Structure 1
Amino acid sequence: MKTTSIMKILFLSIFSFLSICSFAQYDLVIVGGTPGGIMSAIAAAKEGKTSVILERTNHIGGLPANGLGATDIATRGATTGLFLDFINRIKLYYTAKYGADSRQVKDCSDGFHFEPSVGEIILEQMLAEHKTKVTIHKMRQFDVSEKNIVMQNDRIEKIYILNRESQQREEYTGKIFIDATYEGDLGAAANVPFRLGREGKDEFNERGAGIVYKYWGGTEGAGTTFQGDNAVQSYNYRLCLTNNPANRVEVKKPLSYNREEYISLIEDVWTGRHTGVQMQQVTAAMLEENRKHIQKGNVSKIPGDVWGIAKITNMVPLPNAKTDANNQHMAFISTDLPEENWPWPTSSWAWRDRYALRLRSYIQGLIWFAQNDKALPEHFRKAAKEWGFAKDEYTDNDNFPRQVYVREGRRFEGMYFFTVKDATEVAPGQRPPVHTSSVTASHYAFDSHAVRKREPNRIHLDGFLSYPSQVYTVPYGVIVPKTVDNLLLPVPVSGSHIGFSTIRMEPCWMALGQAAGIAASLAIDKQMKVRNITVEDLQSILIDQQATLIYFQDVKPGSPEFKVIQIMALRGYLPAWQAKLGDPIDAETIGSWEKLSGLKVNAEPGKTSRGDALRDLYQKLE
């Protein structure tokens, strides 16, 4: 009996040992095959470092490989580096395949618009060029649990991952760990403090903070309190639709179809009601007149109203007669599904998978309703039915995107906390505050989607808003936790709900991933904590890789003066939007530069160019 017990214990020990597959140590262990994670690996590979990317699905690429083909960036050229490399490769792909004068090249909009499958191809191509340094493991799931992370003295030593195909646990050891997930799962497991929901206006005095009801394109309305809460902005899927009959797949009625969820759309269509600022000038009489107008076979005549499938999806053209179909900003009911996603950031993958199926069913049901419900005008249904899923996209998933568009998960509290002021001009015509530790410039509006479903007598959905911003700089500290010494967070970055709402775009995430890969390499080489690296060293490598750290309208990457301009501007020598290197320098500028540097500027007012004077001063300072 005693011998049997010993043998049983020995067997279980051996089985337990074999059930955990041990993998080689890497310089970087990256959780999440998002563009932010991919660029981290590529940037580190350029510095001679090895990485492993652990991606939960069977496809790398995150949202650009799952429908987000209309790149969200307000000022092209604000973000460059590896992001610009990605965009340039997109254009080259379409040019090589279809010809420089093709419709596809025109529709790719210089590489900023692309089909999901092409986005994945290009990201795979970029990774393949570093295959000796970058290992990719797909179908690898990290679950937030203390049993899946080993920490010692504020450092992550190893993590355990579930192989979703073999159902075995795998062990990954690294020198630096990177959380490139949209949710922030690794950072949470490492006990980095994070935020969820919306800060109130009283905390940071931010525009759009807290509870806001706002006409799209207009001002705040009734119900706005600016109070904080735990609400998370809504998710959806970025659909790839087409009206090309040869490549169109009919949207079928889902098994769990519930007509009651969509019936409020009926009156919106018949009357033309929407959430845009134009509704301020629309009367009840105008809505009833529009109903009669539509009954005669006409389309809606309410200002700002749209017809057909566009009533429920905002569509941006992509090559090959496809669209990036996002939530319709001017609709009370669209592809977003507010409220139900609130638990997502901190829930298990089992819960997330159930919600993903629910969201897919809801969206398919909405489209089917718009195309088939007889309570809607016949000519509306006919117009909506011109569209369907693209037959040649997501061919292993019934032509439906594989990943939920997680707009916001955990937001960690890092060395720097990004808020609205960081992307808002300090005075009309001027820049936002310039961060001397900038690792990228970026630009997108403060943009958040709804947190609640339709409510009676509201002008829009709670939290659905957009406010203008200016091209800004992003400090290194937003990706650096305060305590964990070997962890970087280039996707679930540090910021308020509204501050995060402008950073949370793929171009910025790619740039932050690039910075994370280089920072990790420097930390390894210098044997120091990631928060203690010399930021100037990081910036120098980034600039050499053509990353824009501070944006200028008249100096682009590739210019001979690019590095000088980037470094001197971050030091405060060029506060304006244009460097004007060819202009003669004036006495005021000479005085300003001498005061700032404590050095004599060798320049003659009105004769010496600004560029020559700046180069001379740069050489002295260096």
Structure 2
Amino acid sequence: MKTKPITRYLYTAIFAAVLSAVLFAGCKKQPNVYKADVVIYGGTSAAVIAAVEVAQSGKSVIMVSPDAHLGGLTAGGLGWTDTGKKETIGGLARNFYHRVYNHYQQQEAWKWMKKEEYGNTGQGTPAIDGNMRTMWIFEPHIAEQVFEELVRENNIRLFRDEWLDREAGVEKSEGRITAFATLSGKKFEGKVFMDATYEGDLMASAGVSYHVGREGTDVYGEEWNGIQTGVYHHRHHFMVLDKPVDPYKIPGDASSGLLPRISPDPPGEKGKGDHRVQAYCFRVCMTNHPDNRIPFPKPEKYDSTQYELLVRIFDAGWREWFQKFDIIPNRKTDTNNHGPFSSDNIGMNYDYPEASYERRKEIINEHETYQKGLLWFVANDPRVPEEIQTEMQKWGLPKDEFIDNGHWPHQLYIREARRMKGKFIMTENELLKRTPTPESVGMGSYTIDSHNVQRYVTKEGHVHNEGDIGVGLPGPYEIAYGSLVPKKVECKNLLVPVCASASHIAFGSIRMEPVFMILGQSAAVAACMAIDEKIAVQDVEYEKLKKLLLEKGQVLTMADAIK
């Protein structure tokens, strides 16, 4: 029997409706799935440089940044670059500093001072190296401008303010990450992934081993790891004072309680490991130019009692308040911690590496309140020595920096969080040349450097800081490729150039921003090789990788140093 025309029309209509519904559903879902050869999680300097390298290597790349602003600390106030030996900085990292140099060759770049008035002082190297056409000292907004230019010039797909779903966002199959999702519902699929954040959230969510805190000296046979009571390497301790400082609210009366920001806990046994993390702070950009200066704001939750310990330090004769107002162009500073009580918020960050996003935000806000309050206190409290307060009142926040964040840095200095326990673990033994480093993919050269970790009361009833370490190196050192990749049994397609595989004390040197850029580029080159050869990142043939890195201007040993 023939089907009636109306029935045929009905069947056709139903089929069309079902097909349309399926296609429409697919269209609704598809825009939330994004694919690339390499997916990079992070907005740090390492993330940008890695993305540029992937793009220039001919692979597709997506940057998924939890940050709205690019460049991490390099664009977040750390303009007084921790270069170490600048001849070890090559490749795209050196190109970044060359671009900064080009900017400051323009007359209009010097808005608040004349170029010839700038002293050209850098950290162990001239700020402006005319022979090499590099500049190592710069304003925060100029660094961010350079990073934005790099992203734009290389047509990098960038998703800002996208936060990894740390609970259920990472998908793995047969030892490989296949995709990760963000809290907004977006999904990112790739062949190789990279965690270029300061926190290492993607690494941790992917099930890769890591460490938080200090290892004991016995773990890797080190001298400077673990608790370091009685060690005073810099001038960030109470031994620099003319007399000891009492820690109690009523001097001499332990029953009155401790002053704020002093731990009641004993420091622990020297050389033993602990959960503690070196102190964080904001690298505050300041200016003393009256036409660009905003007086230090008084934070909403200002509490002058938080700074009572500083008063006692001043009373003990300390006068080094302006020691780390390091000068950058246009009458500004990169202001860092200095002294027994300063911008380092000692002991207030131990839970940050593993904390939820909400808790991390609380910690960041507490650091901001503490540091803003500190600046307000020194500029306004009558107990501050007159000569310091008078000078401090000439300083303030620059109107032309961090303009969407109240002129306050948008990045807290996460000096250390998680550190991967990867295929190879860098220790002080490699840095101090006691043992060789295999398969170098870049070099570090900055002093082994840890900021203070805790503030406590001694048996004698005096306040002390602990954990500040500064150990000189015999020379620049190599960084192993194995420190950028997890153990193969844990993940075959992840690279980690920031939370790299290193002991606490070795990371104290590796953690410098130029090194992060170097490692970001090397990790990207390795990622592209793994894709081309359809192999795990751990199986990348080093001699091929080495050849490519040298062609791209990376410095792998001192034989390659740029002079």
1:510 to 517, 522, 526: 517
Asked if the contact 2:455/2:463 (under 8 Å) is kept, the reply is no
Per-residue CA distance 1:56-87 (angstroms, 9 max, x = gap)? 12111111110010111221111211111111
Separation in 2, partners of 1:434, 1:123: 35
Shift of 1:269: 1.3
2:491 to 474, 484, 488: 484
Secondary structure of residue in 1 paired with 2:38: strand
- Structure 2 residue identity aligned to 1:92: N
1:201 matched to 2:217:
yes
Taking structure 1 as reference, are residues 219 and 253 closer, same or farther at Cα in structure 2, changes over 3 Å only? closer
1:577 aligns with none
Secondary structure of residue in 2 paired with 1:359: helix
Gaps of 5+ in 1: 1-10, 163-167, 274-304, 427-432, 560-622
Q: Sequence identity of aligned pairs in percent?
A: 33
Separation in 2, partners of 1:491, 1:119: 19
Separation in 2, partners of 1:124, 1:454: 43
1:126 aligns with 150
1:172 aligns with 188
Secondary structure of residue in 2 paired with 1:28: strand
- Structure 2 residue identity aligned to 1:471: P
Asked if the contact 2:236/2:468 (under 8 Å) is kept, the reply is no
2:322 aligns with 310
Separation in 1, partners of 2:556, 2:363: 38
2:479 aligns with 474
1:109 matched to 2:131:
no
Per-residue CA distance 1:6-33 (angstroms, 9 max, x = gap)? xxxxx9xx99995885233101110001
Shift of 1:174: 0.5
1:78 aligns with 88
Structure number with higher helix proportion: 1
Taking structure 1 as reference, are residues 16 and 372 closer, same or farther at Cα in structure 2, changes over 3 Å only? farther
| Structure with the larger RCO, 1 or 2 (CA within 8 Å, 6+ apart) | 2
Shift of 1:517: 0.7
Secondary structure of residue in 1 paired with 2:105: helix
TM-score, normalization by structure 2: 0.83
1:462 aligns with 466
Aligned positions of 1:438-453 closer than 5 A: 438-453=440-455
Per-residue CA distance 1:235-279 (angstroms, 9 max, x = gap)? 111100111111111112211111111011112113224xxxxxx
Shift of 1:217: 3.9
Separation in 1, partners of 2:456, 2:404: 34
1:581 aligns with none
1:149 to 147, 165, 170: 170
- Structure 2 residue identity aligned to 1:150: E
Shift of 1:545: 1.0
Shift of 1:434: 4.4
Shift of 1:227: 1.2
2:286 aligns with 241
Asked if the contact 1:201/1:226 (under 8 Å) is kept, the reply is yes
Gaps of 5+ in 2: 1-20, 122-126, 130-134, 240-266
TM-score, normalization by structure 1: 0.75
1:216 aligns with 233
Secondary structure of residue in 2 paired with 1:122: helix
Taking structure 1 as reference, are residues 525 and 315 closer, same or farther at Cα in structure 2, changes over 3 Å only? same
1:251 matched to 2:296:
yes
Separation in 2, partners of 1:449, 1:441: 22
1:406 matched to 2:418:
no
Taking structure 1 as reference, are residues 211 and 236 closer, same or farther at Cα in structure 2, changes over 3 Å only? same
Asked if the contact 2:492/2:537 (under 8 Å) is kept, the reply is yes
1:416 to 424, 427, 445: 424
Separation in 2, partners of 1:109, 1:143: 43
1:498 aligns with 505
2:204 to 180, 188, 202: 188
Separation in 1, partners of 2:326, 2:353: 28
Taking structure 1 as reference, are residues 218 and 374 closer, same or farther at Cα in structure 2, changes over 3 Å only? closer
How many equivalent pairs are there? 493
Separation in 2, partners of 1:191, 1:153: 13
Separation in 1, partners of 2:119, 2:147: 19
